[in-house]
Chains A and B, each alone.
Chain A
Amino acid sequence: MRILASELVKLRTIRTTYVLLLGSVLLSGGVAAGLVGSGSVDRKDEDPALALGQGASFGTIFVAVIGILIVTNEYRHGTIMSTFLTEPRRVRILVTKLAAAAIVGLAFAVTALGVAAAVALPWLAARDEALRLDGQALEAVGRVLLVFVLTAVFGAALGAIVQSQVGAIVGYFIWILVVESLITVVSGLLLTDLDEPDPVSKFLPGSSLGGIIGGEGSEFVLNGGGAAVLALGYAIALSALGALAITRRDP
């Protein structure tokens, strides 16, 4: 527990954490305002809470970065050495960092949801379209929490595998924004017509995260539960690779 306390001190004592949190809050609030203002979310929406949650989940890009930084900042600045001195069993360090990432992911999710709710709920109520906080809304909240936590864990595990800060961040975004899209297009061209869902892309790591808050209605991702299980599998696999890299490669 001591090393977890240390990880949280590390996060609280650099500005980057707060800058990224601010980014996530602004983005989530902005998207919520956009959704409500444009009328994309209203009473006729099948699941307005989930739509808002999807909006809040844009903040996951910041959480991915902070997950990566939890590991790579230490390699970049050489503090990984004093970290390994405090706990020479490196796998413990990685597990602790993954836990710290999950905690930060949770904190970012709560703030993103809070801001989205603070923007959207009074606005919808004023339009006489008040959101009902029912089971469906609670499920949406749960999905948002899960996608933030798993994204942060993905980031930390990737950081442990790559160790280079720039490499991990650039690699993450190239994978999410370019590689997965390319795979989708190629597999669509080869295996199906482009307007039909291809059988491959929904199993990719980024899609599995997206599926947690997408799900159900869409044919292009797994349904929420399946996506969550798959994303969890990816998180475990990436963490295992990270553990291998962090023990094998000396700082």
Chain B
Amino acid sequence: MIEVSSLTKRYGSVLAVDDLSFRAEPGRVTGFLGPNGAGKTTTLRALVALLHPTSGDTRILGRHYPELEDPIRTVGAILEANAFHPGRTGRNHLRTIASAGGIGDARVDQALELVDLTAAANRRVKGYSLGMKQRLSLAGALLGDPQVLVLDEPANGLDPQGVRWLRDLLRALAVEGRTVLVSSHVLTEMAQLADDVVIIAKGRLMTQAPMADVLAGGGRGTRVRSPESDRLVAALVQAGIQARQLDDGALTADAEPARIGELAAAERIVLHELVAQSESLEDVFLELTEGASTPS
């Protein structure tokens, strides 16, 4: 269980995180989403006491991170994809962390095996690909067999097989009852991974909900095309249905296809296309963060 309560972090005049509150529950993967610069990394660093919040509170299993008795056996974290001494081997990198947590070399080898780095274990990290570095970071986070995982963009640099592998691994860890909080700006990854989503933009909470609700609650619309577009819009508006003209000449209307079809039949309007639309996570995301983010 992870709790963030009214977290605020100000850097000079920039409000990186603004009164943010959310929870991540055990046994579930919580996706932490937001555009670049939304404050995801700042929030995750505050969780593990790597930065001093301006105000607010973060707790893991009911305690502040520095109060945890055996922090790396309780929380596994990735905060930076490339945090290694380049001249150290992958195995030795893990040994530096393991020895600090009183974890033996046998577990180091297990973790290497788990992320499929056994063959590269004795090579220096500077020769690793981005994906290998990402997997090494993950091995570091898993060393202490922690109950809680805090992962900042763990899928960055992974190839499609790697992303699928990560998804299966994180799902399996959550099924075992662990709390998994994982940030990403890549939505397609999340749609298939997360049970819950927390979406932030400009440091503020946009929504927190189960993934299924976010996708359903995004509303269903209908894509409809007619040679008599103007008459159709008038009919829809009269029926109290909102409609929007699309670039390709079609409309999207906020109603079920059946209702629109019946309406068009009653008004004797010819339709060329009538398709149910379910919004993707991407649509929901863009809607929720619209105005709060500036495209870069």
Binding site for B on A (CB under 8 A): 2-3, 5-6, 9-10, 13-16, 73, 77-79, 81-89, 250-251
Contact = CB atoms under 8 A, between A and B. Distances in A.
Contact of B86 (A77, A83, A250): A77
A9 B92 contact: yes
A13 B96 contact: yes
A13 B50 contact: no
A14 B85 contact: yes
7 contacts: A6-B100, A13-B88, A79-B83, A81-B50, A81-B83, A85-B72, A86-B101
A250 B82 CA distance: 18
A5 to B, nearest CB: 5
Contacts of A6: 96-97, 99-100
**Residue among B75, B96, B97 with the most chain A CB within 10 A?**
B96
Contact of B85 (A79, A85, A87, A250): A79
Nearest to A86: B100
A203 B258 CA distance: 91
Interface in B95-143: 95-97, 99-102, 140
B83 A250 contact: no
B97 A86 contact: yes
Name the 8 nearest CB pairs between A and B, nearest first: A78-B83, A6-B100, A86-B100, A13-B92, A88-B66, A250-B51, A6-B99, A5-B99
Contacts of A73: 85
A245 to B, nearest CB: 14
B122 to A, nearest CB: 11
Interface size class of B (residues with CB under 8 A): 20 to 34
A78 B41 CA distance: 14
Given A78-B82, A81-B80, A88-B65, A14 B102 contact: no
Contacts of B71: 85-88
Contacts of A77: 83-86
B79 interface: yes
Contacts of B97: 6, 82, 86
Nearest to A11: B96
Contacts of B83: 77-79, 81-82
A95 to B, nearest CB: 14
B177 interface: no
B147 interface: no
Chain A contact residues: helix, strand, loop or mixed: helix
Contacts of A79: 83-85, 93, 96
Given A2-B102, A6-B97, A10-B96, A88 B88 contact: no
A89 B67 CA distance: 9
Contact of A250 (B50, B92, B93): B50
A15 B89 CA distance: 11
Contacts of A86: 71-72, 97, 100-101
Contacts of B77: 85
A3 B97 CA distance: 9
Interface in B17-70: 45, 48-52, 65-66, 68
Contact of B96 (A9, A81, A88): A9
Contacts of A83: 100
A73 B92 CA distance: 15
A81 B71 CA distance: 13
B42 to A, nearest CB: 10
Contacts of A5: 99-100
Contact of A2 (B87, B95, B100, B140): B100
Nearest to A12: B92
B85 to A, nearest CB: 5
B181 to A, nearest CB: 15
B87 A82 contact: no
Given A6-B97, A13-B92, 14 more contacts: A10-B96, A14-B85, A77-B84, A79-B96, A82-B96, A82-B140, A85-B48, A85-B71, A85-B72, A85-B77, A87-B100, A88-B66, A89-B66, A251-B50
A89 B100 CA distance: 13
A135 to B, nearest CB: 41
Nearest to A74: B85
Nearest to A83: B100
A85 B75 CA distance: 9
A87 B87 CA distance: 24
